Amino acid sequence: MKLIKCPVNGVRPLQEFLYGGELRPMPDAQASSEREWADYVFNRHGEPGVIKEWWYHIASGTWFIAERDTLKDEFLRTYLYSQEQPK
């Protein structure tokens, strides 16, 4: 069984979580062109690597950030969005 460490509730099974997709900074909607906005809406970091993602712990309603290696499916770090710090 796959285990994920929720920053609030500790290690819990995968079934208690929902995937929220890649963390993507939103461009300024007014200042960006149609093309830039479409890029934000649709395009994704598709290739394997370590990416920051949103995950949701269903039972406690906690959204948090996970840094995960999508090739090996390994969680490197999990933390609340408010705790995010530049490495």
Partner 1 sequence: MPYRLLKFALSRSHPEPRMFRAPESLKKSYDVVIIGGGGHGLAAAYYLARDYGITNVAVLEKGYIGGGNTGRNTAIVRSNYLTPEGVKFYDKSVKLFQELSADLDLNLFYSERGHFTLAHSDATLRTMRWRAEVNKHMGVESRVIGPDEILKICPYINIECGGHEIVGALYHPPGAIIRHDAVAWGYARGADQRGVEIHQKTSVTGIEVKSGRVTGVHTNRGFIETNKVLCAVAGYTPRITQMVGLRTPLIIQPLQACVTEPLKPWLNSIVVSASLHLYVSQSSRGELVMGASLDPYVVHSERSTLDFVEGLCGHMLDLFPFLSNVKILRQWGGMSDMTPDFSPIMGRTPIEGFYLDSGWGTWGFKATPVCGVSMAYTVAKNEEMDLIKPFTLARFEKYDLIGEKGAASVGH
Q: Does 38 bind partner 1 (CB under 8 A)?
A: yes
Q: Is the Cβ of residue 27 or residue 48 nearer to partner 1 in the bound state? A: 48
Among the listed residues 25, 31, 43, 61, the single contact to partner 1 using CB under 8 A = 43
For residue 36, what are the contacts with CB-CB under 8 A and spacing of at least 6?
27
Question: Binding partner 1 by CB under 8 A: which of 62, 70, 75, 79?
Answer: 70
Question: 8-34 as b/e, with b when 16 or more CB fall inside 10 Å?
Answer: eeeebeeeebeeeeeeeeeeeeeeeee
Task: Report, in angstroms and rounded to the nearest whole number, the Rg of the chain calculated over CA atoms.
Answer: 15
CB nearer partner 1, residue 27 or residue 86: 27
Name which of 8 and 38 has its Cβ closer to partner 1: 38
Assess 26 for contact with partner 1 (CB under 8 A).
no
